[in-house]
Amino acid sequence: MNTVIANTALGTSIADLSADGYAEDYLLAIALDDTLSPTATLLEHAELLAMEAAFIGQQLTAITLDTPDHYAGHLAELSTALDSYEDTASIAEFNGLALSCAHVQHNIRLCLADPSLFAAPQVEALQSWIAAVQDYLANIGDRDAGMPLLAQLGNPDWPLPLDMEAAGLLLTQLQGIGGVNTPATPTAHKRTASAEDASLALPEDVNQELLDLLLQELPIQTQTLSAALHALQADGSLADVDTAQRLAHTVKGAANTVGIKGIAQLTHYLEDILVACAQLQKLPGHSLLHALIAAADCLEAMSESLLGLSPPPDDALAVLQNILSWANRLESEGPDSLTALPTTGQTLADTAAVPAAEASSPAPATANAEKAQAAMVRIEAEQLGQLFGQAGENLILNSQANQRLRRAKNLLQNLLEQFELLRGLGDELEQLIDLKDLSGRNATSPATPHDALEMDEYNELHTASRRLVEAAFDARTIGLDARQELDAIKQILDEQQQLMSETQEAIMATRLVAAATLIPRLQRSLRQTCRLTGKHCVLSFSGEHLRVDGDTLNTLTDPLMHLLRNAVDHGIESPEERLRLNKPEYGTIHLSFAHEGNGLLIQLRDDGRGLDFTAIRAAAEQRGVLSTDQAASEDDLTQFILRPNFSTRSQATQTSGRGVGMDVVNYQVQAQGGSLTLHSEPGQGLTVALQIPLPLSRAHALLTAIGPYHLALANHGIRQIVLAGTNPLSITEDGQYAELDGHRYPAQTLDQLLGLPGYRKPDQVPRLALLVEHQQTTTAILLDGVTDGLDIVIKNFGAYIKKTPGFIGTTILGDGSVAPVLDLPELLRLAEGGAAAWQDTALPLTAPTLPSILVVDDSLSQRRALEQLLQDSGFQVSTARDGVEAAEHLAVTLPDLVLTDLEMPRMNGIELTGHIRISRATAALPVIMVTSRTTQMHRTLASDAGVNAYMVKPVREEDLLATIHRLITAPSA
């Protein structure tokens, strides 16, 4: 465990000091002067730190080990207090004390992540540490005052004790406080960042527990940092600078803890700039602010990469170099550089040259950021899915138990009725015996002194009949007691079902994420599109705190990015045109999230020009899908832009004109069982509404049957159940209708909707009608009857059956039989598809054709980065690891362009290009070479081989996309 200290913030900070010769200067100064002479200011700072340490000591005495929840709250409060104490120590130049606080913080985080690490010895270690801190501050003039503190940090009771090497380096910090015996000038920043400085590679001996903690906190911290910097664009204050500086410091420490140099270096220089702004009480100027925002975007992309959501950002080194250049400039030029324009060498600032309002609205409010970082437990998604499945199976078993219980109660009721019958027969038998016995005695018995009515005389037959009646009464009483027990069991099962439902809902809630998690990526996409088109946009949100299924949200990322690009490129006018139209210079795009029934409603609205119906009709006529004399309403014309390969642009640009966009969105939405609608107001803008059904695990359903088929109808969209009447259906030229409760509705029978053969007799009419709402229309679904209504657990069809439109899944009924679960609104939507006069059939649910690019690179991270960029830009991407694999791919599939590296194993980029040029099938295929080789010799070799474009890494995204667009759209030679 001791070797892990090399990867902590303490170890990394001390190692940096040692590498720069800083620690050696301390040791030399101490060797020359054995006495420390604390100043009055230093003593005052020590006294203040001692007072704060006493307060922390009081917090430590309040920690009890009653329950994990109880002491976890105390540890979280202690961690917050230590954060503040560490900052105070750093400001007072008590660097050794600050580093010891950081080391204790890492141990507390380990205990929060694994409660088994925290027990009585760890409480004693914390209390001993704060006592050692107080002794150290009380004896600040003593050269050896820090020795007990070092010894305490090496206590083996710590989850992560201090090793000897780190303790020796820490001692130099403890003995060099407040500027006593410190070097005159610190080491200056480096001038040029290297690829290693921007690397996200993990150390070989990375501590997995610390890495898990980092991955838990990093997304929230980077989003909060980005929000603070964005707030500076909207009349921000120095408080936002302080917030950003604190978060940069926290992220830097966490990254150093794990050993992720790329994040640590970027936040280090970012913190230097923010600290200077705070100390000088000046807000960053326009150019510097955009550089800081670009750094925050890069940090968010790095966070997503570490979580496996995207490849590493390809501009990380350029962003780091830009921030480093600003830090050096601030160091050399002083405060004036905070508001100065960038120099010509700072090219990355150009990539952020979007006006302040274009940077979109700030990320969601961060007031609850600390709450979001409360103690959490990481769990694998597969294990969570198993828990969710087991909860569903428990509900199914409970439903089956309830079904068995209902059968048992029915049988018991029948049994009680038989007991009543048996009791009645016993009474009749007893009466017959009495009559027969009385008549027999009167005829044959001699005279006795007693009358027959005065004294009963019983024989064995009397006794048996009486016992039979009493047994019937006893059996009935037992039956009634059994029914009471069954009623009690029913109540227990109902309570159990309620508890299991709540458990499943709680597990389901762990799969829900806020829609706001999409915002950072959407913001970055919008800023890039604005830069490409030269337009100004403001992006606002509502309902972003709505929590939806994480998988559903992930599948919506690409469609929403398409919609944003289309809104900017097609909808929002140029700044000059907007001013001529008396519109604000900055266009507005509003994205809203809301629940609608059992689905998710997403609306994206812009205030641009709206749809150009004249251009749409002209494009439709040009493609032959609409004749010049054929009438078509605006609604009909709107549907054309959802057709594959349909575009109103005569020339393609980097963002549109290739015939892909809305058709891609429509395909992806329909693939999820959703629908897309468009509403345009000329000159006012376009509203795109996506209705996405959320995955259901439980639902209330109506059970029915068509012949031998048992069906469950989910209550989604069902407004009312009404009696159908004697002759509900009427057929007209306009279609089939039903007259119900004085209203006329479009109607279909359920077997017609499913395409099943009719099992109904010729004279049999439907008895019930379900009024179903879909797409602002109410339709009557006629069926023979409903057998039951109950809550069901919905299961998917399994790996061998793909999603079937109109079918949510299946459910297991109480008797063990399986019934499909129908989504009636989706079935109606499918049945009504292609109703327009100019469409012979409904649009097929097929994937649109996208321009394809083959990316060839032996670096996995580079392949993924290029793949992400090109997919986000609307291309279909294939990858190959080297020239041989690329040649094999070309033998099967011919892409529109090849993007290749130069140096690769087996077959390099020059050889691959030669292979492409000698084949007749691929001779005209455009080839772009992206390499780090800059010599003229390599350029000449590439040109001679037939490379169309030679680009040197790092490549700006805009330049690469522009080159791809130019080569793909260029006419073939």
CA distances (Å), origin 248, targets 228, 349, 706, 899: 11, 20, 64, 37
Residue 525 lies in a domain: no
Specify the CATH number for the domain of residue 924: 3.40.50.2300
Q: What is the pLDDT of residues 675-707, one digit of tens each?
A: 788 888 888 899 998 888 776 666 788 888 887
- Do residues 686 and 708 share a domain? no
- Do residues 207 and 295 share a domain? yes
**Looking at residue 740, what is its pLDDT?**
79
Residue 354 lies in a domain: no
- Do residues 309 and 203 share a domain? yes
The CB-side HSE value for 540 (13 A sphere, CA atoms) comes to 11
- Do residues 315 and 204 share a domain? yes
Is omega for the bond preceding 115 within 30 degrees of 0, making it cis?
Answer: no
Which residue, 687, 677, 691, is CA-closest to 566?
A: 687
- Do residues 507 and 405 share a domain? yes
pLDDT < 50 positions in the chain: 1-37, 178-187, 341-375, 450, 452-456, 652, 654, 657-660, 834-847
Residue 55 lies in a domain: yes
CA distance 593 to 962: 34
CB atoms within 10 A of CB 944: 11
**Looking at residue 343, what is its pLDDT?**
43
Specify the CATH number for the domain of residue 565: 3.30.565.10
CB atoms within 10 A of CB 780: 27
Which residues sit opposite 701 in a β-bridge? 714, 790
Helix (H, G, I), strand (E, B) or coil at 603: strand
- Do residues 270 and 133 share a domain? no
The residues, ordered by sequence, that sit 6+ positions from 837 with a Cβ below 8 Å of its Cβ are none
CA quadruple 825, 829, 830, 834: dihedral, nearest 10: 170
The residues, ordered by sequence, that sit 6+ positions from 696 with a Cβ below 8 Å of its Cβ are 598, 714, 716, 794, 808, 809
- Do residues 916 and 961 share a domain? yes
Indicate the number of domains in the chain: 6
- Do residues 143 and 260 share a domain? no
The angle formed by the CA atoms of residues 231, 235 and 239, to the nearest 5 degrees, is 60
CA distance 158 to 111: 10
Query: Which residue do the tokens 């141990």 mark?
Result: 107
Residue 880 lies in a domain: yes
Residue 346 lies in a domain: no
The angle formed by the CA atoms of residues 542, 546 and 551, to the nearest 5 degrees, is 120
- Do residues 612 and 688 share a domain? yes
Residue 446 lies in a domain: no
The token duo for 93 is: 């130049």
8 Å CB contact between 135 and 155: no
- Do residues 265 and 227 share a domain? yes
When computed from its CA atoms, the radius of gyration of the chain, rounded to whole angstroms, is: 39
CA distance 293 to 531: 15
How would DSSP label each residue in 480-494? HHHHHHHHHHHHHHH
Domain finish residue from 302, 333, 364: 333
8 Å CB contact between 512 and 499: no
Residue 32 lies in a domain: no
Domain finish residue from 800, 832, 864: 832
Q: Give the residue numbers spanning the domain of 87.
A: 40-175
- Do residues 325 and 228 share a domain? yes
Specify the CATH number for the domain of residue 227: 1.20.120.160
The residues, ordered by sequence, that sit 6+ positions from 368 with a Cβ below 8 Å of its Cβ are none
8 Å CB contact between 853 and 898: yes
**Looking at residue 529, what is its pLDDT?**
83
Distance of CA 848 to the CA centre of its chain: 26
Mutual angle of helices 40-61 and 68-91, in 10-degree steps: 180
Residue 189 lies in a domain: no
CA dihedral sign, ordered 729, 732, 736, 738? negative
Which residues sit opposite 105 in a β-bridge? none
CA dihedral sign, ordered 502, 507, 508, 512? positive
- Rounded to two decimals, what is the model's pTM? 0.49
Which residue, 560, 565, 516, is CA-closest to 537?
A: 565
- Do residues 551 and 682 share a domain? yes
**Looking at residue 970, what is its pLDDT?**
78
How would DSSP label each residue in 715-782? -TTEEEEEE--SS-EEEETTEEEEEETTEEEEEEEHHHHHTPPP-S-TT----EEEEEEETTEEEEEE
